[in-house]
């Protein structure tokens, strides 16, 4: 486990913690030495000023991929985001090969993360899988989550499948989302990513207050697509 701060809970008995800043390329390479697979979840997790996103998400990912290249790591799993395609309409079941339509600067940074993964797969032969993670929550708590929810159980399933996919997988992008009846995104092809999600946000619909209807012509991102969501992160 690698983090920039000391974790509040001890690692598993077979785990080791390295306190590393992803911006430090030398430290990242040193911490990853000896690994054969990497799950990269580090970075700024939401909308922020673009310089912060570029430094943490894009440069940090570059350091991880470069460390993998230099140390011979077999597989890198990158945390991408559904926000890469947030401006596709809600009525459109979106697949991972369709054009990126990021809903904000955070989504732009994740487009760049995926592009780095593709580059390192094509140019240097790394095996890279990008998971476009849905709304990772214990349970859905707002109407949009009825489409976008990723349950903890399904998140673990997708991650295990990505880490253990055949070494012949050179590059793959897949949506990591539970099998929600109202979902916006295609589930992965089982021949490419061997996991079938089991949880459905619809089971929690009665617990969610307010109007649950979604405008089919509106953006999948919902409020994340509003101008103010990005403009409030402008630097003076």
Catalytic positions: 106
DSSP 103: S
Contact 182, 147 (CB under 8 A): yes
- Give the residue from 147, 138, 133, 135 showing the smallest Cα distance to 202: 147
The SS3 call for residue 44 is coil
Other C-beta atoms lying within 10 Å of the C-beta of residue 215: 10
Q: Which residues of 2-35 are buried (b: 16+ CB within 10 A; e: fewer)?
A: beeeeeeeeeeeeeeeeebebeebebbbebbeeb
């Amino acid at each position: 486990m690698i983090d920039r701060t000391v974790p509040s809970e001890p690692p598993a008995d077979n785990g080791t913690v390295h306190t590393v800043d992803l911006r430090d390329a030398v430290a990242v390479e040193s911490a990853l030495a000896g690994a054969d697979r990497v799950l990269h979840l580090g970075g700024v997790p939401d909308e922020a000023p673009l310089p912060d996103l570029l430094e943490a998400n894009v440069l940090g990912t570059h350091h991880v991929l470069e460390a993998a290249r230099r140390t011979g790591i077999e597989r890198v799993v990158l945390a991408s985001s559904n926000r890469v395609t947030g401006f596709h309409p809600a009525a459109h079941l979106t697949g991972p090969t369709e054009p990126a339509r990021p809903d904000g600067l955070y989504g732009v940074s994740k487009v760049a993360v995926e592009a780095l993964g593709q580059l390192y797969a094509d140019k240097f032969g790394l095996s890279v899988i990008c998971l476009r993670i849905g709304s990772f929550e214990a349970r859905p708590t707002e109407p949009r989550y009825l489409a976008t929810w990723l349950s903890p159980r399904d998140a673990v399933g997708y991650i295990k499948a990505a880490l253990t996919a055949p070494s012949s997988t050179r590059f793959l992008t897949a949506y990591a989302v539970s099998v929600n009846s109202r979902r916006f995104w295609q589930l992965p092809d089982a021949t490419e990513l061997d996991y079938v999600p089991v949880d459905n946000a619809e089971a929690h619909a009665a617990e969610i207050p307010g109007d649950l209807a979604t405008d089919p012509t509106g953006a999948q991102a919902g409020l994340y697509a509003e101008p103010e969501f990005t403009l409030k992160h402008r630097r003076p």
